[in-house]
Amino acid sequence: MKKIWKFILTNSDTLIAILVSLMATIIGMFGGNQFLLLSGIAATLAILSISLIRDRINREALSEQISDLKRHLPDRPSALAFFRKPPDLAPFIKQATQIDLCGVTLTDTIHGQSAMLSKHLENGGKLCILLIDPVSQAIEMSAQRSVSAKDTGYYHRRLESALYDIAYLIKFTRDRKQSGARNANPENISVRLLSYAPSFGMISFDAKKKNGVIFVEVYPHKYGFQLSPTFELTPENDKDWYYYFVDQFDVMWKAASNWDPTPYLQKISL
């Protein structure tokens, strides 16, 4: 009903013109009064002319507003509008069928979302994890970038914690498969190790689909206690840059080595 009234109010002059025109036509044709017919036509033309003048004035005012807005817009968008706080990942994990993770150790992400990731795998979702190799130079590279260049132990401990969490995810999926869970598949979780420290972290949800989304975190150097710059990419809004990061993950994945979880699985199964 509101839409109908809005339509009537917005187009009142046009509707009046149509009504007057119809009345004048009917009277002129059946009443034989040509004067009323001509008067109706003149009135209709007058109403339509007023409507055209009003629309022209509105268009000119809108054009001026757009021009004024363009003059006050910066040459580029503010970084405050581009970089965002890290999102709540739970809703994205819940809806995704494919999740790709890339980072140095991913300790906080994997541990903090372990319950959601377990459910994701139990429901048949796929999970690809890309992090640094604990026996490569990536540990030293990460330490060199951090506050204490010699504190490689910090990254060893965080990486060990993440790998144990991943092993628990693998064990959970295997146990669910053995217990008869229809969709659980241990092969749906894949882990590869990088021989270098990536300059950014990323998590993507259904990256190869039209409704995919990617969150990218720019890693800091030396001073990293504040929130890192994070931005969001989607195929609809970001097009080439979205697919650039999709390709980046694929390139790193192909260059990385497979991780053997057996030693970790043996320890947690004791």
Which of 256 and 24 is assigned the larger pLDDT?
A: 256
Rounded Cα distance, 145 and 222, in Å? 5
Going by their DSSP bridges, the two strands 213-218 and 230-233 should be labelled as antiparallel
Lowest mean pLDDT: which of 149-153, 185-189, 260-264?
A: 149-153
Rounded Cα distance, 239 and 242, in Å? 5
- Per the CB < 8 A criterion, the answer to whether 155 and 211 are in contact is no
Nearest to 163 by CA among 114, 98, 213, 236: 114
Residues 6+ away with beta carbon under 8 Å from 10: none
Backbone angles phi, psi at 191, to 5 degrees: -135, 130
Q: Any bridge partners for residue 182, and if so which?
A: none
Backbone angles phi, psi at 212, to 5 degrees: -65, 160
Q: What strand order describes the sheet that includes 98-102?
A: 230-233, 213-218, 200-205, 98-102, 126-132, 189-194, 257-258
- Tell me the two tokens of residue 255: 């260059």
First to last CA, the chain: 69
Residue showing tokens 């970038």: 145
Q: List pLDDT tens digits, range 77-86.
A: 778 778 888 8
* Letter string b/e over residues 154-186, b meaning 16 or more CB atoms within 10 A of that residue's CB: bbeebbebbbbbbbbbbbbbeebbeeeeeebbb
Radius of gyration of the chain (CA): 32
Confidence at residue 84, expressed as pLDDT on a 0 to 100 scale? 83
Q: Any bridge partners for residue 196, and if so which?
A: none
Please report which helix (H) or strand (E) contains residue 133, including its range: none
Output the pTM of the full model.
0.73
Confidence at residue 81, expressed as pLDDT on a 0 to 100 scale? 78
Q: List pLDDT tens digits, range 128-171.
A: 999 999 999 999 988 888 877 778 898 999 999 999 999 999 99
Question: What value does the mean pLDDT of the chain take?
Answer: 85
- Per the CB < 8 A criterion, the answer to whether 234 and 216 are in contact is no
